[in-house]
Amino acid sequence: MSDYVLGISAQFHDAAAALVRDGEIVAAAAEERFSRIKHDSALPFRAAKWCLEHEGIRPDDLAAVVFHEKPLRKFERLMITQINAFPRSLEAFRRTALSWFPDKLWVRGALAKGLGIDARKVIFSDHHLSHAASAFYTSPFEEAAVLAVDGVGEWASTALFDASRNGIERLSEIHFPHSIGLVYSAFTAYLGFQVNDGEAKVMGLSSYGQPRYVDEVRKILRSSETDGITVDLSYVTYQHSATQSFSARFEQLFGPARSGDARLDITTPEGRRYADIAASLQAVAEDCVVDLANGLQRQTGRTDLCLAGGVALNSVINARLTSRTQFKRVFVHPAPGDDGCAAGAALWAWNEVLAGRRGPALTRPGLGKAWSNGEIAKLLADLDIKHTAFDDEDAMIASVVDDLVDGKVAGWFQGRFEWGPRSLGHRSILADPTRPEMTERINRKIKFREQFRPFAPAVLQGHEDAYFEMAPGTELLMPWMLGVFPVKDGARALLPSTTHVDGSARVQSVDDLANPLFQRLLIAFGRATGHPVLLNTSFNLKGEPIVTSPLQALRTFYSSELDVLYLGNFRVINTAIGKHFYE
Amino acid sequence: MLDQSNPFTMLRLVSWVVWKIPSRRPLKMAGFSHTEAGSSLDMMDAAELAPTASLRKKYFRHALDEFRHSRLFHERAIALSRGSHAADVLEDAEYSASHGIRGETSLYERLGETEFLAFVWLHERQGARQFGLYADLMKHDAASSAMFAEICADEEYHVSYSRRELDRIEIQKGPREVRGAIRRLRLRRAREAFLRTSHGFGHVMAGLWLTVIYFGIVAPFSLAGRRSAPAAGLVATPGASARARLEYEVQG
Ligand SMILES: [Fe+2]
Ligand SMILES: [Fe+2]
Ligand SMILES: [Fe+2]
């Protein structure tokens, strides 16, 4: 039997491919990183082909290609829901039929043809099982309870598992349309953001508000440890509409949806109302996950929890779980959303279908493509771009520290790109977090995005406690930047540009396992300033996927007001590229 | 995109009508923003793959221009729709080509060097004409007019460098190479236009059929008794994982 299994997730949003060798993820990438279409949902052939290329294998070498869910079951759910919603579901029915009949129903054939493999090698996992496997099989836990919470998969919106040496056993699930994720998305739409993209903005907005509308939100979304989640369906319309997710009754409850005048201004009463609604939603969503987790803990008796699914991108909830439940430790996969299902599907098949030996825990997020210093040198020479070349990494790091201390904002492009939605020190924009002007500057001049979105601090492992109020048992969230923690009173003034308005921060801790080069930079910066902390935000402009290649890094660099760019061991400063390029 | 074979006066008339309607303007601008972002991606692909440093430089510079245009159009779209619901939607919308599918290979790979350059030349020439005309027609809206003029100047660079490259290929490989590429490109365009039309027609027909099916088939099912909607709350799933392990070949 071959040692390789390829996992594929696609057809909803965030398509991805992940290659597992001997139970370990060796290459993984979201399709958007290659196609440059944000949240690209097409079958991820570009990413899949790169995965094979990375390992130098041919499609024939794969033991199996695993799709992350069962398409026919999902189609069944759509059809039954639409029959039930007759005659309001005409438009949704036509949309479903037009996308499923010519295309989505024929996944096996499309994958076999696109990848050049035998169709019998294509097998199918189950959506929440894929989520669960992505978390459990990359966690350091021998046994754990696993909670997968998202919008919806085939029928389930939430699934509870008990995982051990014997595999991942599904204990119970909650079915569509009762879904925390879909209610969160309905609020996202109500608050004027794009569904499947703006949820993070709702979370950011929530820290500007007070949870004044908790009782109202609870009318829509209720939870208990024994019964799970219940949604009052009179407030939502996602169950029969493809374009509208909240009802007129929803607006009667909360007032008119955000529309009309341009920017969301939190200083106006209207803006504050939206922030308060976001805060209330956040509080109720947290209670829901806590109830589910407590119920699961009681049922399984486990002390470790793996959380998976899109809801696990909510770093505020993640960080509270050990203090609000009986669980002692919590782990989240670096790609908890549907992109991560590609890894989960492959890991599930390896461990449970092919009965392979379980691989090691995941310790590093850099699972994407890398470019060598030689390739970067050639690119810079080809493009005639003035640069400084450093002999070694130490000299390069010393120069970055000088630039950052000098108040410059730096693009940092090093090694393999990250797996999952966060930049974790491979494709990052870095700055000195002690400078208060950085938030405004980076938001407005570099990323062109809403001002209320906070930046994250990356801190050298071992120094978290000096700045942040860490909850015990949350250490495993930190390498992936998936936990929000209070900044200690004394440190708030110290780290103004990475401390959110409510005094919290989404912390990433860095050690030599996760990212040795980035760790060395933090050590050097700490030596120079006394604080081994950097502002770390993703290397992209608003609306674009994070940069993948050195050329994309250069395009982003020249299209923004970034001061300086480090591409491998090369430093480039931002001087306009002239029209002489055409001569 | 306006067909360049249209008589210029006709183009002028149509454009004048289109730009006359204020509510259409932001949408037109947003549409241009998407097109320009898409071109920027195509030029980036070409810059990644170009065989010579000289071409790489030009394609990269071109990609930067198109990206900037995309952003200018996006900002203009927002400015023109200030205060309306559209502003809100646009403000939050991405200005990159974040919708649709780009296929498995890049335009550059699909066309090859000569045809790609011919494509760039034809499209840029058309763009330069179009934006030049808009700069003229939009005199009543100084900011938009100035933006069109600025973009038009860039497009002229794109026309001239791609033409120069085509001339170079003509000298190296003979005039047939370039003429052939342009002919193939025009054929391809005609074929794509035909496919788009028939696809659009098919889409409408499929939509009609689906409406018939909806009322003919879905309705009786629905009236025969609603399939019981799933119950709220936790549903126990004994044996589900074992079943998943056995049914891995089953699609649903
Ligand atoms: Fe999911
Ligand atoms: Fe342009
Ligand atoms: Fe152009």
φ/ψ (deg, to 5) at A566: -105, 110
A340 CA → ligand 1 middle, Å: 9
Could you give the residue range(s) of every CATH 3.30.420.40 domain in chain A? 4-68+70-124+338-353, 175-332
Interchain CB contacts (distance < 8 Å): A and B: 214
CA–CA distance, A551 with A546 (Å, rounded to integer): 12
Residues of chain B with C-beta less than 8 angstroms from the C-beta of A171:
236-237
Structural tokens at position B225: 């008794």
* Share above pLDDT 90 across residues of chain A, in percent, rounded to a whole number: 82
The number of residues making up chain A comes to 583
B150 CA → ligand 2 middle, Å: 10
Residues whose beta carbons lie less than 5 angstroms from ion ligand 1: A 150, 338
Of A1, A55, A183, give the one whose Cα is nearest residue B232: A183
Question: Residue B151: exposed, middle, or buried by beta-carbon count in 10 A (0-12, 13-18, 19+)?
Answer: buried
In order of B1, B18, B91, B92, B137, the CA distances from B13 in angstroms are 15, 9, 31, 33, 10
Structural tokens at position B85: 């619901």
Q: In which band, very low, low, confident or very high, does the pLDDT at B25 lie, cut at 50, 70 and 90? A: confident
CB spacing of B251 vs A124 below 8 angstroms: yes
Q: What is the pLDDT of residue B96?
A: 39
> By the 8 A CB rule, do A156 and A176 touch?
yes
Mean of the pLDDT values across residues B215-240? 80
Helix (H) or strand (E) holding B235: strand B234-236
Beta strands at A533-538 and A427-431: parallel, antiparallel or unpaired: antiparallel
Residue B246 lies in a domain: no
Q: In which band, very low, low, confident or very high, does the pLDDT at B228 lie, cut at 50, 70 and 90? A: low
> By the 8 A CB rule, do B176 and B162 touch?
no
Residues of chain A with C-beta less than 8 angstroms from the C-beta of B93:
194, 543
Question: Residue A289: exposed, middle, or buried by beta-carbon count in 10 A (0-12, 13-18, 19+)?
Answer: buried
A16 CA → ligand 1 middle, Å: 12
Amino acid at B210: L
Mean of the pLDDT values across residues B89-114? 66
A93 touches B: beta carbon within 8 Å: yes
Residues whose beta carbons lie less than 5 angstroms from ion ligand 2: B 36, 66, 69
Mean of the pLDDT values across residues B168-174? 94
The backbone region for A530, taken as left when phi is positive above 0, alpha when psi lies in -120 to 50, beta otherwise, is: left
Could you give the residue range(s) of every CATH 3.90.870.20 domain in chain A? 373-582
> Is a pLDDT exceeding 90 seen at residue B149?
yes
Q: In which band, very low, low, confident or very high, does the pLDDT at A107 lie, cut at 50, 70 and 90? A: very high
Mean of the pLDDT values across residues B20-27? 78
CA–CA distance, B190 with B185 (Å, rounded to integer): 9
Q: In which band, very low, low, confident or very high, does the pLDDT at A198 lie, cut at 50, 70 and 90? A: confident
Structural tokens at position B135: 């700069």
Of B11, B125, B10, B149, give the one whose Cα is nearest residue B69: B149
Terminal alpha carbon distance of chain B: 43
- Mean pLDDT is highest, among A7-11, A262-266, B103-107, B199-203, for A7-11
| Ligand showing the shortest atom-to-Cα distance for residue A16 | 1
Residues of chain A with C-beta less than 8 angstroms from the C-beta of B63:
555
Structural tokens at position A192: 């004027």
Residue B119 lies in a domain: yes
Q: What is the pLDDT of residue B89?
A: 52
Across the interface, which of A45, A126, A193 has its CB nearest the CB of B92? Answer: A193
> Is a pLDDT exceeding 60 seen at residue B90?
no
CA–CA distance, B222 with B215 (Å, rounded to integer): 10
Amino acid at A163: A
The answer to which of A182-196, A389-403, B14-28, B67-81 has the lowest mean pLDDT is B14-28
Cα of B165 to nearest chain A Cα, Å: 10
Window 8-37 of A, Cβ < 8 Å to B: 35-37
Residue B113 lies in a domain: yes
In order of A111, A244, A245, the CA distances from A250 in angstroms are 41, 12, 10
Beta strands at A167-175 and B234-236: parallel, antiparallel or unpaired: antiparallel
CA–CA distance, A452 with B190 (Å, rounded to integer): 48
Helix (H) or strand (E) holding A29: strand A24-30
Which position has the higher pLDDT, A260 or B109? B109
> Is a pLDDT exceeding 80 seen at residue B83?
no
Q: What is the CATH number of the domain that holds B166?
A: 1.20.1260.10
Q: What is the pLDDT of residue A2?
A: 79
Residues paired with A506 in a beta bridge:
A484
Which position has the higher pLDDT, B137 or A479? A479
Q: Give A356-369 pLDDT, tens digit per residue.
A: 999 999 999 999 99
> Is a pLDDT exceeding 50 seen at residue B2?
no
φ/ψ (deg, to 5) at A289: -65, -40
Q: In which band, very low, low, confident or very high, does the pLDDT at B105 lie, cut at 50, 70 and 90? A: confident
CA–CA distance, B116 with B55 (Å, rounded to integer): 12
Residue B13 lies in a domain: no
Q: In which band, very low, low, confident or very high, does the pLDDT at A506 lie, cut at 50, 70 and 90? A: very high
Mean of the pLDDT values across residues A213-234? 96
Cα of B14 to nearest chain A Cα, Å: 30
Residue for token pair 């900002």: B75
Q: In which band, very low, low, confident or very high, does the pLDDT at B176 lie, cut at 50, 70 and 90? A: very high
Q: Give A77-86 pLDDT, tens digit per residue.
A: 988 888 888 8
Of A354, A308, A20, give the one whose Cα is nearest residue A139: A308
CA–CA distance, B168 with A583 (Å, rounded to integer): 13
Q: What is the pLDDT of residue A391?
A: 95
CB spacing of B248 vs A125 below 8 angstroms: yes
Number of domains in chain B: 1
CB spacing of A549 vs B48 below 8 angstroms: yes
Residue B72 lies in a domain: yes
A446 touches B: beta carbon within 8 Å: no
Residue B226 lies in a domain: no
> Is a pLDDT exceeding 70 seen at residue B101?
no
Q: In which band, very low, low, confident or very high, does the pLDDT at B77 lie, cut at 50, 70 and 90? A: confident
Residue B136 lies in a domain: yes
Q: Which spans in chain B are helix H?
A: 8-20, 24-49, 53-80, 85-92, 107-111, 113-137, 142-173, 175-213, 219-223, 240-246
Q: What is the pLDDT of residue B226?
A: 64
Q: What is the pLDDT of residue B86?
A: 54
> Is a pLDDT exceeding 70 seen at residue A452?
no
Residues of chain A with C-beta less than 8 angstroms from the C-beta of B204:
none
The number of residues making up chain B comes to 252
Q: In which band, very low, low, confident or very high, does the pLDDT at A443 lie, cut at 50, 70 and 90? A: confident
Question: Residue A35: exposed, middle, or buried by beta-carbon count in 10 A (0-12, 13-18, 19+)?
Answer: buried
A84 touches B: beta carbon within 8 Å: yes
Instruction: Supply the pTM of this predicted model.
Output: 0.94
Helix (H) or strand (E) holding A33: helix A32-35
CA–CA distance, A255 with A269 (Å, rounded to integer): 13
Residue for token pair 């010393």: A398
CB spacing of A581 vs B57 below 8 angstroms: yes
> Is a pLDDT exceeding 50 seen at residue A64?
yes
Q: What is the pLDDT of residue A196?
A: 82
Domain A175-332 in CATH 2.60.40.790? The answer is no
Contacts of residue A98, defined as CB under 8 A and 6 or more positions apart, other chains included, come to B203, B206, B207, B210
Q: Which long-range contacts (CB under 8 A, 24 or more apart) does A24-28 make?
A: A24/A359, A24/A360, A25/A138, A25/A343, A25/A346, A25/A347, A25/A359, A25/A362, A25/A367, A25/A419, A26/A54, A26/A55, A26/A367, A27/A51, A27/A54, A27/A55, A27/A367, A27/A368, A28/A335, A28/A342, A28/A343, A28/A367, A28/A368, A28/A419
A7 touches B: beta carbon within 8 Å: no
Residues whose beta carbons lie less than 5 angstroms from ion ligand 3: B 124, 155, 158
> Is a pLDDT exceeding 50 seen at residue B94?
no
- Give the distance, in angstroms, between the CA of residue A351 and the centroid of all CA atoms in the same chain: 24
Q: How many CB atoms lie within 10 A of CB A120?
A: 10
Q: What is the pLDDT of residue A448?
A: 76
If you classify domain A4-68+70-124+338-353 with CATH, what class do you get?
alpha beta
Of A438, A443, A464, give the one whose Cα is nearest residue A541: A443
> Is a pLDDT exceeding 50 seen at residue A322?
yes
B218 touches A: beta carbon within 8 Å: yes
Q: Give A123-170 pLDDT, tens digit per residue.
A: 999 999 999 999 999 999 999 999 999 999 999 999 999 999 999 999
The answer to which of A129-143, B12-26, B191-205 has the lowest mean pLDDT is B12-26
A354 touches B: beta carbon within 8 Å: no
Q: Which residue range forms the structural domain that includes residue B31?
A: 21-206
Q: What is the pLDDT of residue B153?
A: 94
Mean of the pLDDT values across residues B184-188? 90
Residues of chain B with C-beta less than 8 angstroms from the C-beta of A133:
none
Of A2, A7, A1, A63, give the one whose Cα is nearest residue A367: A7
Positive or negative CA dihedral for B236, B241, B247, B251? positive
> By the 8 A CB rule, do A247 and A219 touch?
no
Positive or negative CA dihedral for A329, A334, A339, A343? negative
Residue B233 lies in a domain: no
> Is a pLDDT exceeding 50 seen at residue B150?
yes
Q: Which spans in A255-327 are helix H?
A: 269-300, 315-324
Amino acid at B126: Q
Q: What is the pLDDT of residue B138?
A: 85
Give every strand in the sheet of A329-332, ordered side by side: A329-332, A304-308, A144-149, A156-164, A167-175, B234-236
Q: How many CB atoms lie within 10 A of CB A394?
A: 11
Residues of chain B with C-beta less than 8 angstroms from the C-beta of A544:
94, 96, 98
A371 touches B: beta carbon within 8 Å: no
Q: Which CATH number fits domain A373-582: 3.40.190.80, 3.40.190.150, 3.90.870.20, 1.20.1560.10?
A: 3.90.870.20
Q: Give A237-276 pLDDT, tens digit per residue.
A: 998 887 889 999 999 999 999 873 356 788 889 889 999 9
Suggest the residue from A88, A90, A128, A170 to mutate for an interface test with chain B (most B CBs closer than 10 A): A170
Positive or negative CA dihedral for B2, B7, B13, B16? positive
> Where are any strands of DSSP class E within A72-227?
122-124, 144-149, 156-164, 167-175, 221-224
The answer to which of A105-114, A257-266, B158-167 has the lowest mean pLDDT is A257-266
CB spacing of A124 vs B85 below 8 angstroms: no
CA–CA distance, A228 with A226 (Å, rounded to integer): 6
A80 touches B: beta carbon within 8 Å: yes
B109 touches A: beta carbon within 8 Å: no
Terminal alpha carbon distance of chain A: 56
Residue for token pair 């939605």: A421
- Mean pLDDT of chain A, nearest integer: 94
Q: What is the pLDDT of residue B3?
A: 44
| DSSP string of A453-500, one letter each residue | ---EEEEETT-HHHHB-PPTT-GGGGGGT-EEEEBPHHHHTTSGGGS-
